[in-house]
Amino acid sequence: MNRTLKRVFMPGLVVSGLVSATLLPMKPASADQNVWRDIGIGAATGVVSSVVTKHKVVPNIINGAAAGAAVNQSRDLTTAKGKRPDLLRDAGFGAAAGAAAGGITGRRHTVRNAANGAAVGAVINVLTPRPRR
């Protein structure tokens, strides 16, 4: 009987201990509105880029959204409080994220992906010029 109880209850106790130790310290994830705004700007820029260059729309939307998210995060990490984000830095992070997203999605044109990402970074910088708080 004792052996059976150990086999039945011990795995459950171990799992519940691990889960509670892992999940309790976490705070709830709440996405900042700026992230969604920048992802939307990136996706819209991807659509415009597709129309202008006459290439496929969906891969450019994915590329633009990824670049928008990367530019948003890079602004949080690299821009000092009270300073305006740098245009070249935003374009550079957008280009890197666009090239990476193109590589992940299997698009062969690395330069085109980087150009789309740089365009997203520049558009985000122009549309949201406020200093970081």
Alpha helix positions (H), 54-109:
57-78, 87-105
Q: 62 with 107: CB under 8 angstroms? A: no
The whole-angstrom separation of Cα 60 and Cα 37 is 17
Residues 6+ apart with CB under 8 A from 88: none
> Is residue 9 one of the residues assigned to a domain?
no
Count CB-CB contacts under 10 A for residue 133. 5
- What is the maximum alpha-carbon separation in the chain? 74
Mean per-residue pLDDT, 32-42 = 85
What residues make up the domain containing 61? Answer: 33-127
> Is residue 98 one of the residues assigned to a domain?
yes
Q: Which is more confident, 16 or 53?
A: 53
> Is residue 66 one of the residues assigned to a domain?
yes
Instruction: Specify the pTM.
Output: 0.71
| Overall number of domains in the chain | 1
Three-class DSSP category at 109: coil
Predicted pLDDT at 21: 47
> Is residue 51 one of the residues assigned to a domain?
yes
Task: Render pLDDT for 10-31 as a digit per residue (tens, 0 to 9).
Answer: 665 555 554 554 444 544 444 5
> Is residue 18 one of the residues assigned to a domain?
no
